[in-house]
Chain A
Amino acid sequence: MTLLHYLVLSGVLFTIGAATVLTRRNAILAFMGVELMLNSCNLALVTFSRIHGTLTGQVMAFFVMVVAAAEVVVGLAIIVSIYRARRTVSVDEPSLLKN
């Protein structure tokens, strides 16, 4: 098992996350896709950090975790307020803005 495998795994996770965001109609699920993408970035960063023998990538991973947590707070707040207003978390259903 070489370090390359981790990179491939991170690429696969990133793709799954991106596909989730683009195809799922549920805001919470789309949001989970974003989180998956961020975490796959973390995996790539830590792996590259190991390859290069520097700590930079690991430090970045910490910052990414924090930013992801902050995003969760803001995102959940928005989704919850929409849910309370219309009892649905579908991305499609809110469609007043579509032309």
Chain B
Amino acid sequence: MTNPYVPILVLMGAAALLALGGIGASAVIGPKVYSRAKLEAYECGIQPTPHAIGHGRFNIKYYLVAMTFIVFDIEVVFLYPWAVAFSDLAVFGVVAMLGFLALITVPYLYEWRRGALNWD
């Protein structure tokens, strides 16, 4: 019986080989013909604007989404261990987790009512 980690290492090696091999092969054998269109930023067929709108700054909405995501993130950190120990924790665990989820919902209610979830 070999070490159980060997297959994982083999998989990692194969993945690395595939990724690096693809990049390397195209660098070596691919044709290199540059035109103006190729050098421009790709914008789904629209004429690219010289600068991104708002001088390259992200819209503030992205930060809101990021913060919203973090709340979910926090939720999952506790949900995973809870799920693993679910049967041991029994009723106490369910009640505690429901309380936690209820509290986590409060900021969403706030965001929703104050319009943070509207994209426009």
Question: Chain A: residues with CB nearer than 8 A to chain B?
Answer: 62, 65-66, 69-70, 72-73, 76-77, 80, 84
Contacts and interface: CB of A to CB of B under 8 A. Distances in A.
A67 to B, nearest CB: 9
A65 B77 contact: yes
A35 to B, nearest CB: 13
Contacts, number: 25
A69 B60 contact: no
A66 B74 CA distance: 5
A80 B60 contact: yes
Contacts of A65: 77
A76 B74 contact: no
Interface of B: 60, 63, 66-67, 70-71, 73-74, 77-78, 81
B79 to A, nearest CB: 11
Contacts of B63: 76-77, 80
Given A69-B70, A72-B70, A76-B63, 4 more contacts: A66-B77, A69-B74, A77-B63, A84-B60
A73 B77 contact: no
B66 A62 contact: no
A66 B67 contact: no
A62 B119 CA distance: 32
B81 A62 contact: yes
B67 A76 contact: yes
Nearest to A74: B67
A61 to B, nearest CB: 10
A32 to B, nearest CB: 15
A66 B60 contact: no
A73 B70 contact: yes
15 contacts: A66-B74, A66-B77, A66-B78, A69-B70, A69-B73, A69-B74, A69-B77, A70-B74, A73-B70, A76-B66, A76-B67, A77-B63, A80-B60, A80-B63, A84-B60
